Chain A
Amino acid sequence: DAKTTQPTSMDCAEGRAANLPCNHSTISGNEYVYWYRQIHSQGPQYIIHGLKNNETNEMASLIITEDRKSSTLILPHATLRDTAVYYCIVRVALADKLIFGTGTRLQVFP
């Protein structure tokens, strides 16, 4: 599985969009980009995934660059409850293993 690089930490004001970047320059054509988050010490929670098209669901949007070497997770209106560690993971389509890095710690402030 391709490696990912994320900033260690980010801040965001409540109500503003949080844009979390992820670099995956060695991604292969059959690898998906997944995002999970971990709030405090709870189990990780799935957010969104994509292959090459941009994706949106009720939680977030995922923007993948055309060359697929990087992506951005967007939380359109961050709330205090979005404070968490966000993990960007690259995963082969038919594989099941999730390999976590250290993630980005997002702090949403009032």
Chain B
Amino acid sequence: NAGVTQTPKFQVLKTGQSMTLQCAQDMNHEYMSWYRQDPGMGLRLIHYSVGAGITDQGEVPNGYNVSRSTTEDFPLRLLSAAPSQTSVYFCASSFTGSPTEAFFGQGTRLTVV
């Protein structure tokens, strides 16, 4: 059972480039979300989804797009990378509608130069 899988693990981008961070889960979870974590800080919610076709903004959505075409996948797109988006990105998933645990991926470390 793979759980939550994020790819790539590391990425270096130039300012202005675009890219997609991948997140996949095999637990049939309805809820998926993306966080970013800057050095010495807690995690901040970027976007989330309560099911296929439904997405919503979190605390820090600017500069990021998401879509949810399947239950399993929740990609995060950086449209035009900026140095301020240098961070570690975590994807999480869980069942909805009940007090249950969330499962996190191992993170993608992104550097924008």
Question: Interface on A for B, CB 8 Å cutoff?
Answer: 32, 36, 41-46, 49, 51, 87, 91, 93-94, 96-103
Contact = CB atoms under 8 A, between A and B. Distances in A.
B43 A96 contact: no
A47 B101 CA distance: 8
From DSSP, what is the main secondary structure of chain B's interface residues? strand
Interface residues of B, number: 29
Contact of A99 (B59, B98, B106, B109): B59
Contacts of B103: 46
A96 B35 CA distance: 14
Interface stretch (B12-20, B68-76, B78-86, B87-95): B87-95
B44 interface: yes
Contact of B43 (A32, A45, A100): A100
Contact of A101 (B42, B97, B107): B42
